[in-house]
């Protein structure tokens, strides 16, 4: 009989340096450029007019971002994962696999997962893999771990880590959205039929393939913000509805929703649908950490669990969307 997979522990880490909105208003690049593409020589193209930003305007445009974290000089993505792993309290020698969502680490091979394996001393890991689904990377990594646990049992490390502050264009207006961090799940088997990862759901919508991408210079680009907004809200809400419907669980039983913290206005729109009473079901980290891509969902879950906001027995819906456009979601009984 196939085992059920559950999240047995979580961990997270965000760098110490805080970038407030003042950092961007005092930048020599303010007023900022608006990216529209690349020319025939692959040089960035910007609109002629620029955007002057104030601290209040940044908070309004981003839906409440006031702070985000930046990785220290000399640190890399592996360091962030190792720091986050320490907070899980889990013994690395018990791990059999590592799956990490990431798009910002400059070292493409050996994989981030293999380098993490070496650093934490996970000597019994035989499967180490990176997942490239941008902001949806953590749920994709979680699902791969779930499948392996159900098939083979054992314990797996999954999650997402990003160092976005090293790939953004600090001359471009979208630079104030992004931050760095890492969030992790430890996934293992359970015989409790009432708990665990009850349902996962994924979708790829290539109609938005040009909405979010890395340009030829390695910079993160998002020239179609309004279109991303509409796709993100509709797509994540659809995934949330489908998860409970296919699991045959009433939506009213969901205790918490954790949506990708791409922008506070996106989270607000999702809340209007899934928690119109604003009873606190929708977890938020966007104001303190900004958009950390694949790290946002696992950081939010880990922080909420470590604080005791989310407790054993709670039903939690995770939903995210990343470049591709790649959507993901998981319905979990903690």
CA 221 to each of CA 45, 67, 172, 185, 268: distance values in angstroms, whole numbers, following the listed order = 12, 21, 9, 28, 23
What's the CA gap between 288 and 281, in Å, rounded? 18
Q: Annotated catalytic residue: which of 21, 61, 102, 135?
A: 135
Task: Give the number of other CB atoms < 10 A from CB of residue 227.
Answer: 16
Question: Which candidate, 258, 261, 203, 243, places its Cα nearest to that of 68?
Answer: 261
Task: Give the number of other CB atoms < 10 A from CB of residue 253.
Answer: 10
Q: Annotated catalytic residue: which of 102, 174, 263, 291?
A: 291
> Omega of the bond prior to 272 within 30 degrees of 0, cis?
no
Torsion over CA: 263, 288, 316, 206 (sign)? positive
260 is catalytic: yes
263 is catalytic: no
What's the CA gap between 70 and 9, in Å, rounded? 25
CA atoms within 13 A on the CB side of 226: 0
Q: Annotated catalytic residue: which of 21, 174, 182, 260?
A: 260
End-to-end CA distance of the chain: 22
What's the CA gap between 265 and 105, in Å, rounded? 28
174 is catalytic: no
Question: Which candidate, 176, 8, 204, places its Cα nearest to that of 91?
Answer: 8
Task: Just list the catalytic residues.
Answer: 135, 260, 291
């Amino acid at each position: 009989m196939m085992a059920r997979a559950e999240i047995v522990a979580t961990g997270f880490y965000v760098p110490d340096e805080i970038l407030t909105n003042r950092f961007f208003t005092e930048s020599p690049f303010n007023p900022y450029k608006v990216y529209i593409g690349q020319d025939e020589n692959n040089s960035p193209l910007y609109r002629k007019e620029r955007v002057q930003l104030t601290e209040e305007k940044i908070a309004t445009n981003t839906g409440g971002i006031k702070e985000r974290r930046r990785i220290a000089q000399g640190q890399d993505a592996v360091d962030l994962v190792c720091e986050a792993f320490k907070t899980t309290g889990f013994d690395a020698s018990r791990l059999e696999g590592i799956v990490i969502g990431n798009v910002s680490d400059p070292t493409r091979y050996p994989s981030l997962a293999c380098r993490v394996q070496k650093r934490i001393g996970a000597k019994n890991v035989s499967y180490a893999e990176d997942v490239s689904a941008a902001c949806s990377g953590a749920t994709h990594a979680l699902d791969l771990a779930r499948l392996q646990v159900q098939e083979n049992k054992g314990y797996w490390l999954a999650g997402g880590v990003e160092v976005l502050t090293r790939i953004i264009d600090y001359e471009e207006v979208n630079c104030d959205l992004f931050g760095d961090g890492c969030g992790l799940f430890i996934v293992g088997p359970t015989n409790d039929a009432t708990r665990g990862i009850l349902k996962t759901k994924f979708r790829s919508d290539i109609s938005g393939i040009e909405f979010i991408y890395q340009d030829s210079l390695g910079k993160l680009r998002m020239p179609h913000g309004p279109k991303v907004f509409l796709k993100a809200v509709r797509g994540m809400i659809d995934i949330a509805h489908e998860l409970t419907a296919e699991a045959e669980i009433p939506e009213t039983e969901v205790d918490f929703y954790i949506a990708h913290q791409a922008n506070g206005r996106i989270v607000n729109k999702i809340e209007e649908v899934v928690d119109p009473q604003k009873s606190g079901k929708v977890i938020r980290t966007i104001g303190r950490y900004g958009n950390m891509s694949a790290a946002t969902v696992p950081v939010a879950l880990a922080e909420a669990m470590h604080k005791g906001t989310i407790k054993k027995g709670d039903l939690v819906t995770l939903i995210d969307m990343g470049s591709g456009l790649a959507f993901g979601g998981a319905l979990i009984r903690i």
